[in-house]
């Protein structure tokens, strides 16, 4: 198995051994890197959220079932895109799963093309979310470098205030505001206000996403 | 010895009273004593007496007389006794009694006159020849009369006393003894006073001889033959003793003449008195017999339980007994003066009343042994049988009336019982035949007859009354009719075995249709044995049973279908798992084949997996088909552990979906039970599903089902228990839940457990529920290993 960190992995959780082996084979044939577990709990014990990948899980399993696994992952901030497969699909279950962010809900027996498409989508989502998460952490790191006064200035600049207005609001000299603004631009590694606003928007989006 | 001694004493006495001039005694008692002894003994013993008296004879006479005379006399005496005894015993009936005229006369004639006379003549002739005595005439006459007197007086007396002693009659009353004593003393006194008169006394007269006669008459009247004989003997003996000693009333010139006339007088007297005593006795006896007979007749008449009446020639009833009066209601006064006529009482049915002057014999003939009604005093009539008889000599006769009313009542009751019995038999829809202990049909009812008439010739049990059921069955059985053999064996078991009742079923084909009969054989509860055979048609019941079995099967099937419906999602899942694998494997294989260098080894693995998954899917489908099948119940050895495992496999997905964990504790010792596999699986599935349902409100982590199997060696039974961790049973629910249409769920018919219980019961098993000690309920199914009849 390719242990390259950058290679995304399909985590397959199904209590049925033959289903596990068949789907592993099929996904392998589609070119995916697959790791499989017989139960949700075993998977949770092994799962490293740092590694990219997606989850293909049976809904009905002894012990912790698919939907419980989904909520457990969300609760521990280790969420990853999930493709549910089930032999006993019902609408209530699928709505619940979708609302909780599942990529899709596939009935068994599942065609490989559909599964592969779903897995691909899931991996993409994972990649996207990982990128967004990386961006957000970078912005957050920059924001963390700002002093309290610089942060106030940042918020007001992003809000579109003029220096004069900011100075008036903060009760500081316009010149002082300019200095702070320069520092903010430097620490946030932007050259224009427009970039700064984009950054702020990204940060907001990322935080909402999580 | 006693006879010998008496003979000796009498001989000495006789010699003392010897005739004055003849070689004979005036009172010779020995011959009479010997004669009496012979009369009292059987003839074959006579010789002993004759021999026994010889020494006494010799002892008494040899002293005074020459040998020749003694010998002649011995033979004469013995001859007299034997002759007399022979004559008397030959002509009179035993036992000898001389109180009858006939026997007294015989004694007088043969013993008293002929025998002495004959022997005396022979003896006189012998004396003459030997020269002992020449006076033949005197010897003959003297010996004859003296022996006649002795025989006539002594023999009846001795025989009477001996018979009285021998028969042990009651002792004589004191009063009678006193009378006898007085009489004897008076007789003796008169004789002594009157006969001891000297010869020369002027008062001497032969008339004095008559003086004792009143005494003798008294004795004769009061004491019969014995009295007469004793009195005559006393008078004779005293007078003779007096005469021999020179006294006496006879005053002839010649002493021999005197003696002869005296003895002759006494002979005549004694004969007269003996015969009259016999006559008196006979009269007395006849009178007594008559009164006894009269009393007997009266007693028979009065106490007879048959109503009896005596009628006179004019048909008037003169007397009636108690039973007659009781029957008719008349009293004794009603019969007085001949008020009641016999033909008034007895009226033939619808017969015209009495015809005047009808001949009584004609009337009686009509009534004889006729059943008619007797008119009672109160106007009622009773049925009687009338009998009559005419008195042989008298006018009139006797009628008997036998009351038939009790008999008629019994007859009527018997008829009622019989008609009821017949009516009951006739109204029975079942076919009934009664057979005796040998199997002969003694009675059948109409149903049986109709059935026999309608039945084909070939049927073995077409038996009517008089035929033998056992033989009919045996004949058919010999020809291989198995039903007949079964009938035969069953009836024999009831007739001769210990069983009181046995029942068999048999099928007959009628007009192409099958008819079922239940034939019961019941022992007749009576001493003579026998049995009642009852054939009841049970075709409709059989059909209903089949129908009900069919319905039960359908219901079972529906119930299974319902369970399967509940499980359909789970089954879908069970099927989709292998299908998923197959599809995944197949598509993987396709991808691999599309590669430039396909990995055939992997394709091989893939194909093997596909085969396995296909088999898995087939298994699921097979089980479902079994459960959905409509097949009839089939008993076969079933491994209940397998049934439990398979049921759990079928419900696996459902359990997973419901977060229920199943734990198995299977008894490896459990033998195969004779049961219907599908039905057992149905029961287990139902219980598993119920367990799941019961845990809807149980926290997810506590949803547990524990299934166990046990072998109960003691009861030869297998037990399956299913325990859940749910809410348990509400009080009182552990029986209620098995009733049909009772459900605790919001959906379903509530038939599941009811059907499970009926399945357990058709397996002769039980199904019950109880609450588990900790939480939840336990259901137990217990069925016998050997199974039961399907």
The full DSSP string for B589-638 is: HHHHHHSSS--HHHHHHHHHHHHHHHHHHHHHHHHHHHHH--PPP--EEE
| Buried residues in B260-275 as b, exposed as e (16+ CB within 10 A) | bbbbbbbbebbbebbb
Average pLDDT over residues B740-763: 73
- Here the tokens at position B325 are 């009066």
Give the residue on B whose Cα is nearest the Cα of A27: B588
Q: Quick one: pLDDT band at residue B743, thresholds 50, 70, 90?
A: low
**Residue, of B737 and B360, whose pLDDT is higher:** B737
CATH dotted code for A9-131: 3.40.50.2300
Q: What pLDDT, on a 0 to 100 scale, did the predictor assign at position B545?
A: 83
Q: How many residues does chain B have?
A: 790
CATH level 3 topology of B428-537: Beta-Lactamase (3.30.450)
Q: What pLDDT, on a 0 to 100 scale, did the predictor assign at position B3?
A: 66
CATH level 3 topology of B552-784: Heat Shock Protein 90 (3.30.565)
A30 contacts in B (CB within 8 Å)? 591
For testing contact with chain A, the best of B572, B579, B581 (most A CBs within 10 A)? B581
Give the residue on B whose Cα is nearest the Cα of A62: B656
Q: Do A19 and B606 touch (CB under 8 A)?
A: no
Strand partners, B509: B514
Query: Longest C-alpha distance within chain A, in Å?
Result: 73
Interface residue B593 vs chain A (CB under 8 A):
no
For chain B, give the mean pLDDT: 82
For chain A, give the mean pLDDT: 85
Q: Quick one: pLDDT band at residue B508, thresholds 50, 70, 90?
A: confident
Q: Do B585 and A26 touch (CB under 8 A)?
A: yes
Average pLDDT over residues B586-600: 89
- Lowest mean pLDDT of B246-255, B418-427, B538-547, B628-637, name the range: B246-255
Q: Quick one: pLDDT band at residue B137, thresholds 50, 70, 90?
A: confident
End-to-end, the C-alpha distance of chain B in Å comes to 107
Q: How far is A83 from chain B (nearest CA, A)?
A: 15
Q: What pLDDT, on a 0 to 100 scale, did the predictor assign at position A43?
A: 93
- Lowest mean pLDDT of A57-66, A74-83, B394-403, B772-781, name the range: B394-403
For testing contact with chain A, the best of B584, B613, B620, B657 (most A CBs within 10 A)? B584
Average pLDDT over residues A188-206: 81
Do residues B701 and B730 make contact, with C-beta atoms less than 8 angstroms apart?
no
Distance separating alpha carbons of residues B728 and B774, to the nearest angstrom: 10
Whether residue B351 has pLDDT greater than 50: no
Q: Do A112 and B585 touch (CB under 8 A)?
A: no
B649 contacts in A (CB within 8 Å)? none
Distance separating alpha carbons of residues B478 and B342, to the nearest angstrom: 71
Q: Do B580 and A112 touch (CB under 8 A)?
A: no
Average pLDDT over residues B179-190: 87
- Lowest mean pLDDT of B82-96, B264-278, B434-448, name the range: B82-96
Torsion from C-alpha of A108, A112, A114, A117, nearest 10 degrees: 140
A18 contacts in B (CB within 8 Å)? 577-578, 581, 609, 612-613, 616
Q: Do A110 and B612 touch (CB under 8 A)?
A: no
Query: What is the residue extent of each domain of chain B?
Result: 2-283, 304-409, 428-537, 552-784
Percentage of chain B beyond pLDDT 70 is: 89
Nearest partner of B722 among B706, B733, B738, judged by Cα: B706
Interface residue A198 vs chain B (CB under 8 A):
no
**What CATH number matches the domain at A146-209, 1.10.3720.10, 3.30.460.10, 1.20.120.160, 1.10.10.10?**
1.10.10.10
Interface residue A18 vs chain B (CB under 8 A):
yes
Q: What pLDDT, on a 0 to 100 scale, did the predictor assign at position B95?
A: 66
Q: What is the pTM of this model?
A: 0.46
SS3 B712: strand
Interface residue A26 vs chain B (CB under 8 A):
yes
Distance separating alpha carbons of residues B681 and B634, to the nearest angstrom: 13
Contacts 24+ apart (CB under 8 A), B131-138: B132/B23, B132/B66, B132/B68, B132/B69, B132/B72, B133/B22, B133/B23, B135/B21, B135/B22, B138/B19, B138/B21, B138/B22, B138/B256
Interface residue B666 vs chain A (CB under 8 A):
no
Q: Give pLDDT tens digits for A91-125.
A: 888 888 888 888 899 988 889 999 999 999 999 99
- Lowest mean pLDDT of B213-222, B507-516, B535-544, name the range: B507-516
Cα–Cα distances (Å) from A157 to A180, B254, B259, in that order, read: 11, 224, 216
Nearest to B591 among A23, A29, A88 (CB): A29
Strand partners, B403: B384
Distance separating alpha carbons of residues B493 and A25, to the nearest angstrom: 78
Interface residue B578 vs chain A (CB under 8 A):
yes
Interface residue A182 vs chain B (CB under 8 A):
no
Whether residue B4 has pLDDT greater than 70: no
Percentage of chain B beyond pLDDT 90 is: 13
| Dihedral class, residue B379 (left if φ above 0, else alpha if ψ from -120 to 50, else beta) | left
Q: What pLDDT, on a 0 to 100 scale, did the predictor assign at position B697?
A: 87
Task: Check for a shared fold between B304-409 and B552-784.
Answer: no
Which residue do the tokens 């691909």 mark? A120
Query: What is the residue extent of each domain of chain A?
Result: 9-131, 146-209
Q: Do B583 and A111 touch (CB under 8 A)?
A: yes
Distance separating alpha carbons of residues B520 and B530, to the nearest angstrom: 14
Strand partners, B705: B662
Classify domain B304-409 at the CATH class level. Answer: alpha beta
Strand partners, B388: B399
Which residue do the tokens 């009686």 mark? B364
Distance separating alpha carbons of residues B355 and B347, to the nearest angstrom: 12
Strand partners, B375: B381
Q: Quick one: pLDDT band at residue B367, thresholds 50, 70, 90?
A: low
**Residue, of A194 and B752, whose pLDDT is higher:** A194
Q: What pLDDT, on a 0 to 100 scale, did the predictor assign at position B15?
A: 65
Q: What pLDDT, on a 0 to 100 scale, did the predictor assign at position A4?
A: 46
Interface residue A49 vs chain B (CB under 8 A):
no
Angle at B467 between CA B433 and CA B509, to 5 degrees: 65
- Residue ranges of E strands in B658-703: 661-665, 673-675
């Amino acid at each position: 198995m390719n242990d390259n960190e950058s290679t995304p992995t399909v985590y397959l959780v199904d209590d049925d051994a033959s289903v596990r082996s068949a789907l592993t084979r099929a996904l392998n044939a589609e070119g995916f890197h697959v790791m499989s577990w017989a139960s949700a709990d075993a998977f949770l014990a092994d799962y490293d959220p740092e590694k990219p990948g997606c989850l293909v899980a049976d809904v009905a399993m002894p012990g912790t079932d698919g939907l419980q696994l989904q909520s457990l992952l969300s609760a521990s901030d280790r969420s990853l895109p999930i493709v549910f497969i089930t032999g006993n699909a019902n609408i209530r279950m699928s709505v619940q799963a979708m609302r909780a962010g599942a990529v899709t809900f596939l009935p068994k027996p599942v065609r490989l093309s559909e599964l592969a498409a779903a897995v691909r989508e899931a991996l993409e989502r994972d990649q996207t979310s990982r990128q967004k998460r990386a961006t957000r952490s970078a912005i957050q790191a920059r924001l963390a470098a700002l002093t309290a006064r610089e942060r106030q200035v940042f918020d007001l600049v992003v809000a579109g205030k003029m220096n004069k207005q900011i100075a008036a609001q903060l009760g500081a000299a316009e010149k002082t505001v300019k200095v702070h603004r320069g520092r903010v631009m430097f620490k946030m590694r932007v050259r224009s206000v427009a970039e700064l606003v984009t950054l702020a928007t990204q940060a907001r989006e990322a935080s909402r996403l999580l | 010895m006693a006879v010998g001694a008496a003979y000796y004493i009498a001989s000495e006495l006789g010699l003392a009273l010897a005739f004055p001039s003849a070689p004979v005694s005036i009172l010779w008692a020995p011959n009479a004593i010997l004669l009496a002894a012979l009369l009292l003994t059987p003839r074959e013993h006579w010789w002993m007496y004759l021999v026994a008296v010889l020494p006494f004879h010799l002892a008494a006479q040899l002293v005074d007389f020459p040998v020749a005379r003694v010998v002649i006399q011995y033979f004469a005496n013995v001859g007299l006794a034997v002759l007399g005894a022979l004559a008397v015993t030959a002509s009179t009936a035993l036992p000898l009694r001389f109180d009858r005229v006939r026997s007294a006369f015989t004694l007088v004639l043969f013993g008293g006159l002929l025998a002495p006379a004959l022997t005396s003549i022979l003896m006189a002739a012998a004396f003459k020849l030997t020269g002992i005595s020449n006076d033949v005439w005197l010897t003959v006459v003297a010996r004859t009369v003296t022996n006649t007197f002795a025989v006539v007086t002594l023999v009846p007396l001795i025989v009477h006393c001996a018979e009285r002693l021998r028969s042990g009659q009651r002792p004589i009353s004191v009063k009678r003894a006193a009378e006898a004593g007085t009489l004897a003393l008076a007789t003796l006194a008169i004789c002594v006073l009157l006969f001891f008169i000297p010869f020369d006394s002027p008062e001497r007269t032969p008339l004095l001889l008559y003086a004792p006669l009143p005494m003798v008459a008294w004795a004769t009247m009061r004491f019969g033959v014995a009295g007469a004989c004793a009195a005559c003997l006393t008078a004779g003996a005293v007078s003779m003793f007096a005469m021999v000693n020179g006294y006496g009333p006879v005053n002839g010139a010649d002493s021999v003449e005197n003696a002869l006339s005296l003895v002759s007088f006494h002979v005549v007297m004694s004969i007269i008195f003996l015969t009259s005593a016999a006559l008196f006795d006979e009269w007395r006896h006849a009178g007594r017999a008559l009164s006894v007979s009269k009393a007997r007749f009266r007693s028979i008449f009065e106490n007879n339980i048959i109503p009896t009446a005596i009628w006179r020639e004019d048909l008037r009833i003169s007397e009636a007994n108690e039973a007659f009066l009781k029957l008719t209601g008349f009293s004794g006064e009603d019969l007085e003066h001949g008020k009641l006529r016999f033909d008034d009482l007895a009226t033939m049915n619808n017969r015209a009343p009495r015809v005047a002057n009808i001949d009584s014999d004609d009337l009686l003939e009509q009534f004889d042994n006729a059943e008619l009604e007797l008119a009672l005093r109160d106007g009622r009539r009773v049925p009687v049988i009338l009998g009559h008889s005419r008195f042989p000599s008298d006018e009139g006769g006797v009628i008997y009336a036998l009351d038939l009313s009790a008999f008629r009542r019994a007859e009527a009751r018997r008829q009622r019982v019989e008609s009821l019995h017949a009516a009951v038999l006739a109204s029975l829809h079942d076919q009934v035949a009664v057979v005796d202990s040998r199997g002969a049909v003694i009675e059948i009812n109409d149903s049986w007859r109709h059935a026999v008439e309608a039945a084909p010739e070939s049927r073995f049990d077409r038996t009517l009354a008089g035929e033998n059921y056992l033989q009919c069955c045996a004949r058919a059985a010999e020809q291989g009719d198995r039903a007949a053999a079964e009938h035969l064996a069953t009836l024999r078991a009831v007739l001769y075995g210990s069983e009181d009742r046995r029942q068999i079923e048999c099928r007959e084909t009628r007009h192409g249709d099958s008819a079922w009969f239940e034939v019961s054989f019941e022992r007749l509860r009576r001493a003579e044995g026998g049995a009642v055979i009852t054939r009841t048609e049970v075709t409709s019941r059989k059909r209903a049973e089949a129908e009900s079995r069919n319905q039960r099967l359908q219901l079972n099937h529906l119930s299974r279908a319902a369970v399967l419906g509940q499980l359909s999602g789970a089954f879908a899942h069970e099927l989709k798992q292998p299908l998923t694998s197959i599809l995944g494997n197949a598509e993987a294989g396709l991808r691999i084949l599309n590669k430039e260098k396909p990995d055939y080894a992997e394709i091989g693995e893939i194909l093997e997996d596909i085969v396995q998954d296909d088999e898995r899917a087939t298994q699921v489908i097979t089980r479902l088909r079994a459960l959905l099948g409509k097949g009839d119940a089939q008993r076969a050895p079933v491994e209940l552990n397998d049934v439990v495992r398979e049921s759990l496999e079928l419900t696996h997905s459902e359990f997973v979906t419901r977060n229920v964990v199943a734990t198995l504790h299977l008894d490896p010792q459990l033998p195969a039970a004779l049961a219907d596999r599908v039905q057992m699986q149905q029961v287990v599935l139902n219980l598993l599903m119920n367990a799941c349902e019961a845990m809807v409100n149980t926290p997810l982590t506590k949803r547990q089902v524990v299934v166990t199997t046990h072998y109960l060696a003691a009861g030869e039974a297998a037990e399956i228990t299913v325990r859940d961790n749910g809410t348990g049973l509400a009080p009182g629910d552990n029986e209620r839940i098995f009733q049909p249409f009772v459900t605790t769920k919001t959906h379903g018919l509530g038939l599941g457990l009811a059907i499970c219980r009926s399945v357990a019961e058709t397996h002769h098993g039980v199904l019950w529920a109880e609450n588990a000690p900790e939480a939840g309920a336990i259901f137990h199914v217990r069925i016998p290993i050997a199974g039961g009849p399907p």
